[in-house]
Chain A
């Protein structure tokens, strides 16, 4: 079987790429295909990397250099752009707001997913099937912008950080479903053993389970955190008060003010993107797994 070039479940044209030196009838025909594949991959990478690199390039230019040479490679890099953008856009305050909203809302949402998912998965509450159906149904709801706004207004939560956090946290999406799904792989006997050793329900929920369920809980957290960090619409309708804005809204307003100062604007965009880029660099595997896991469940 080893002479058959397709040894792994790879798609079209894979044969020659995998064993380029194998003497095979298809060899001569497939070698150019490998070159084509590399060229295509290069095209894909350029299409995705170029916009980001161009952003960095622009962010480093002085205003004069941008006016003279808007698209060329930067000649004298200006790191001062970042300082001015940070100061003029008041990004320090916005970043702090975003960090607060993201961690509290995603943390709360994760705890909620666990609180409701665990007893439903184990049948510790009545009608687990009905609740399970409700979790799934919650993924297909109409656009609730108007009622969320009215609710916040009437509960006195309009223009408050608490209101925004509660609304963001309650958007648990696939969280409870992911939790119940994962729990089917954790035997009930572990619950029983912990209970025999005298662990109470809450202690089990908050000290034992998080260790057993770390992958799925981090997925739920990351998924929700990305959603909160990148939100712009709910923040727009709930926060007339600029001092409570998250960084996305701060950036959007900055664009309105400094319309044609592209270097400054690019520096500001990079400031907002930086935490995400750093997180992606270190947590790429988890981020990809989270987003895709969340999407497929939905």
Chain B
């Protein structure tokens, strides 16, 4: 790379660059590194309270017998949520992409409708599904009633997680579908022609042409989905609130422990919430690196 600057003095470029970087460093990088630092303190949300170093105490609390059951359940919920969302979102997105890649009338409309929730945001989506799953008068309650059943839906601890997963998949699938569509359109048509000459059935074309050539899109979608769903909690917060044990995931626990809600956030230590952030960060790093290694190996073997 040629490193000379063509615009006379270098200082303008450096100054404006520094300005931009400074904002990012102060409001993004400092907080990221700061999380690790304050996870060793008992910092509180009131600025005039003294802060002390407490060493590993927050981490010990996380694994202490008093908190362990709650945290293990949050951990279990996180994995159930992430695994279910990743599997269903990817499978359904692939099917919808294959379907909407055909020459069907109105397929552009269908694509647009499927993508729409991606921009709607969690508050609007949360309200739409609170309305649909309104236990007393919603359409879902009607369907349940037709089978002689009733349900509290998001208020039912057995059903809440399933419904949250459904809404998450519903709202997030658009991006995956578009990525798969791009992947499908990049497959050269000659391959299908050759497969046809060889007498391949529709299933064989899917298995031996489409799927292997779509492997990079599968990798991208799976990774995006794993990383996203391990960290996402906004929709869960809107649908079932900050303290519902049935849907408590790790990232929501950070919010609840740090900012309390009804548990009295002002006196609580935010250092503990920071420790949960670090635990979560380590989990996300390990899982996504493992998934990346696995998917890359699989891509070459298909």
Q: Write the residues of chain A forming the contact surface with B, with a CB cutoff of 8 angstroms.
A: 1, 4-15, 17-18, 37-38, 40-41, 44-45, 47-49, 51-52, 54-55, 58, 66, 70-71, 111-113, 115-116, 119-120, 123-125, 128, 131, 138, 140-151, 153-154, 166-167, 169-172, 188, 191-192, 195, 199-202, 204-205, 226, 229-230, 232-233, 236-237, 248-249, 251-252, 255, 260, 262, 265-266, 269, 272-273, 276-277, 279-280, 284, 287-288, 291-292, 295-296, 298
Per-residue contact bits, chain B 44-81, to A (CB 8 Å; 1 contact, 0 not): 01010000000000000000000000000000000000
In the assembled complex, which residues on chain A have CB atoms less than 8 Å from the CB atom of B16?
115, 119, 201-202, 205
Contact of B220 among A54, A58, A296 (CB under 8 A): A296
In the assembled complex, which residues on chain B have CB atoms less than 8 Å from the CB atom of A141?
28-29, 32, 281
Q: Write the residues of chain B forming the contact surface with A, with a CB cutoff of 8 angstroms.
A: 1-3, 5-8, 10, 12-14, 16-17, 19-21, 23-24, 26-32, 34-36, 38, 43, 45, 47, 96-104, 106-107, 109-110, 112-124, 127-132, 134, 136-139, 142, 170, 174-175, 178-179, 182, 184-189, 192-193, 196-197, 202-203, 205-206, 210, 220, 224, 227, 231, 234, 237-238, 251, 254-255, 258-259, 270, 273-274, 277-278, 280-281, 284-285
Given contacts A41-B99, A200-B12, A237-B259, contact A71 B124 (CB under 8 A): no
Cβ–Cβ contact A54 & B104, under 8 A: no
In the assembled complex, which residues on chain B have CB atoms less than 8 Å from the CB atom of A288?
115, 178
Cβ–Cβ contact B103 & A14, under 8 A: yes
Measured CB to CB, the closest approach of chain B to A50, in angstroms, equals: 8
Cβ–Cβ contact A201 & B13, under 8 A: yes
Contact of A292 among B112, B175, B197, B281 (CB under 8 A): B175
Measured CB to CB, the closest approach of chain A to B42, in angstroms, equals: 12
Cβ–Cβ contact A144 & B23, under 8 A: no
Please, which residue of chain A has its CB at the minimum distance from the CB of B140?
A71
Alpha-carbon distance A248/B237, docked complex (angstroms): 13
In the assembled complex, which residues on chain B have CB atoms less than 8 Å from the CB atom of A279?
119
Cβ–Cβ contact B102 & A248, under 8 A: no
Please, which residue of chain A has its CB at the minimum distance from the CB of B259?
A237
Given contacts A10-B101, A125-B17, A151-B27, contact A200 B8 (CB under 8 A): yes
In the assembled complex, which residues on chain A have CB atoms less than 8 Å from the CB atom of B138?
70-71
In the assembled complex, which residues on chain B have CB atoms less than 8 Å from the CB atom of A10?
101-103, 184
In the assembled complex, which residues on chain B have CB atoms less than 8 Å from the CB atom of A255?
127, 130
Alpha-carbon distance A298/B32, docked complex (angstroms): 18
Alpha-carbon distance A170/B121, docked complex (angstroms): 20
Measured CB to CB, the closest approach of chain B to A55, in angstroms, equals: 5
Given contacts A58-B131, A151-B30, contact A6 B192 (CB under 8 A): yes
Measured CB to CB, the closest approach of chain A to B273, in angstroms, equals: 5
In the assembled complex, which residues on chain A have CB atoms less than 8 Å from the CB atom of B206?
11-12
